[in-house]
Amino acid sequence: MSQSEPTITLENTEGRTTRPSVAPRIRQDQRAQRVFFVITLLPVFLIVVVTIALFVRAWPILQAFPLTDLLFGTIWKPSEKMFGFGPFILGTLWVTVVGVGVAVPPCLLAAIYLAEYAHASTRSFTKPILDLLAAIPPVVYGVWGLLAIVPFVEDMLAPLAKRWLGGVPFLAVNQPTGFSILSGGIVLAVMIAPLVISVVYEIFLTVPNDLRHASLAVGSTQWQTIRNVVLPQVMPGIVAAVVLGASRAFGETIAVLIVVGNVPQVPTSIFDSAYPLPALIANNYGDMMSIPLYDSALMGAALVLLVVILIFNILSTLVLQRMLRRKWA
Amino acid sequence: MGMKKNYWQRRHLMELFMKTLMRISLAGAAASLGLILWTVVARGLPALTWDMVTQVPKGGFYMGKEGGVLNAIIGSLYLALGGTLLAMLFSLPIALYLKTYLGSSKWGQYVRLSLDVLWGIPSIVYGAFGFTIMIAIGMRASLLAGIIVLALVELPIMVRAMDEVIRRMPADLEQAALALGSTRFEVSMQVVTRQMLPGIMTAILLAFGRGIGDAASVLFTAGYTDRIVTSLMRPTASLPLAVFFQLGSPFPEVQQRGYASALILTIIVLAVSFGSRWLSSRLNKYTIK
């Protein structure tokens, strides 16, 4: 077959519009790139601006009292110029630890099941459920906590603990109501569950199947494979997921505020009431302008929240980013 | 000499035990959604009257007299719509820039890191930040202030959700367009945006749902009023705060209406969630597979 000559025909070009010049399109592209670039700097910029703004507002209280007095002081009487964040910081820590403690074991198990055992149909059935759990507004979680969890703790868990666990530390029942750290923790656990489950699930998917196959081929059961082969690979990611969940719990405001009782005391048991930092800010924004230094103290509280959460978040996100991009030989 | 599997071996029992535990855990997570919805419906429905969604609070509303929370419903819709539109203006360029210009480069990672960090900042901190800015520039609590702060809350959610879907775009499509001589801007606007429209809509609705349910950020910035808001510069009621304030009332009738308000909020959020699912499956028909 003879090769036909490549021919360039010059006919038919008259009817066409001339090709537009490339230059304006490239200029448009470059302009867009500059605009997009500036907009993209916004998130980075925003973190810095939020931190600085809160720091500036909190500066008067930071100057008036030494930092250790503020963080570890236990007396909160704004009208008498006593601003000890101690009980509030401890309250936040208690609620967060209980929330994470309640959430982590079932979330890990659920995520492992989804990643390692579940049928595709189970996965596609579970995803919308987790999405909906994540979509429910905090205040609705608060209503649920108030109507279901507080009575449950008051009528079921507290009497049980009183009867059987009297001498166990952190489990003493010192007050009659269910408005407690445990109620706040249970509500928080459900709130952070979708996040923890989906992050852990994603990390499990990064482990290549060859590793699993190798282990199964020598006769391990599936659980042995998970425990001895997969888990060691994903451990840092799981820790990061838990820290991420903890930071979410740390800053949660409305849902916790509704069920935790809001008593400014140093808690000694999960059945005690507590008064977390976010609740302190939310409850007192109304009269903070009427007492000197009060607004500065509340913004200081917000700053404490922000700094702790920034540290938690940056560390866990760095670990997760690294794990999700991991290249396997 | 076929080896029979001995199911009474410790490791097989362990397998069964762990698998059962996992199933229970997953069922527990699913059941908690059911419990939440059931609680809100069972306690909210009896108090949910037509007046609740068509009336504003009348005199004595907060002592159990007549009225509804229309002011809060309208206020919340305005707040979330405004916040979502404002967040969208910034989110789409950021997501496109991440995809077409930065890709998975080092800078792309930095931007994603800062977005994840922003996502993690609790809304009460955004509220407090908005409040400090409002004091500094002498602005009062208003619809506009609420919209701006909600946009800050929604921005990272929206960009990350968009980024997740845009990243999944087939590389061939982009390369084909580039090979034909498109600029990256043209690829962004004419290929990526159209192909990924379903995902982008989902991201926007996700952020809208998050915005309409957020209470802690509007607490400081949007204020509260019994009237329907008519101006950007006036304070406005919002549904999450309506729930919150009514729960704190000593009057049982008012508390009941708090549950009903929570039900209204839940219905709106669920409608948005299902709506986005439906919309994205509809729009997905028009994308290149």
How confident is the model over A33-46, as pLDDT tens digits? 899 999 999 888 99
Residue A274 backbone phi and psi in degrees, to 5 = -145, 175
How far is B207 from chain A, CA to nearest CA, in Å?
Answer: 10
Residue B55 backbone phi and psi in degrees, to 5 = -115, 155
Indicate if the pLDDT at residue A277 is higher than 80. yes
Could you tell me the CATH number of the domain that includes residue A294?
Answer: 1.10.3720.10
pLDDT digits (tens, 9 = 90+) for B56-67: 888 777 777 778
**Shortest CA distance from A110: residue in chain B:** B26
The CB density around residue A197, as the number of other CB atoms within 10 Å, is 30
Indicate if the pLDDT at residue B129 is higher than 50. yes
Residue B216 in contact with partner chain A when CB distance is under 8 A: yes
Residue A261 backbone phi and psi in degrees, to 5 = 95, -30
Mean pLDDT (chain B) is 90
Nearest CB to B94: which of A39, A142, A298? A39
Indicate if the pLDDT at residue A2 is higher than 50. no
pLDDT for res A221: 92
Residue ranges covered by each domain of chain B: 67-286
Nearest CB to B122: which of A223, A252, A299? A252
Indicate if the pLDDT at residue B35 is higher than 50. yes
Lowest mean pLDDT among A23-37, A188-202, B255-269: A23-37
How far is Cα A51 from Cα A44, in angstroms, rounded to an integer?
Answer: 11
Q: Are B223 and B233 in contact (CB under 8 A)?
A: no
- What is the maximum alpha-carbon separation in chain A? 102
Mean pLDDT (chain A) is 89
Residue B15 in contact with partner chain A when CB distance is under 8 A: yes
Average pLDDT estimate for A299-327: 91
pLDDT for res A284: 86
Indicate if the pLDDT at residue A16 is higher than 70. no
pLDDT for res A306: 95
Lowest mean pLDDT among A111-120, A284-293, B177-186: A284-293
How far is B137 from chain A, CA to nearest CA, in Å?
Answer: 12
Q: Which residues of A touch B206 (CB under 8 A)?
A: 135
Percentage above 70 pLDDT, chain B: 98
Counting Cα atoms < 13 Å in the Cβ hemisphere of B275 gives 14
How far is B186 from chain A, CA to nearest CA, in Å?
Answer: 8
Lowest mean pLDDT among A109-118, A299-308, B4-13: B4-13
Q: Does domain B67-286 have CATH number 1.10.3720.10?
A: yes
**Shortest CA distance from B98: residue in chain A:** A40
Which residue matches tokens 């729930």? B243
The CB density around residue A157, as the number of other CB atoms within 10 Å, is 20
How far is B288 from chain A, CA to nearest CA, in Å?
Answer: 23
Taking CB atoms and an 8 Å limit, are B94 and A40 in contact across chains?
yes
Residue B120 in contact with partner chain A when CB distance is under 8 A: yes
pTM, two decimals, is 0.91
Residue A307: domain span: 67-324
Taking CB atoms and an 8 Å limit, are A321 and B109 in contact across chains?
yes
Q: Are B173 and B289 in contact (CB under 8 A)?
A: no
pLDDT digits (tens, 9 = 90+) for B19-29: 999 999 999 99
Considering its fold, how many domains does chain A have in total?
A: 1
How far is B221 from chain A, CA to nearest CA, in Å?
Answer: 11
Indicate if the pLDDT at residue A72 is higher than 90. no
Average pLDDT estimate for A24-40: 90
Indicate if the pLDDT at residue B43 is higher than 60. yes
Q: Which residues of A touch B247 (CB under 8 A)?
A: 142-143, 146, 258
pLDDT band at A1 (very low <50, low <70, confident <90, very high): very low
Residue B190 in contact with partner chain A when CB distance is under 8 A: no
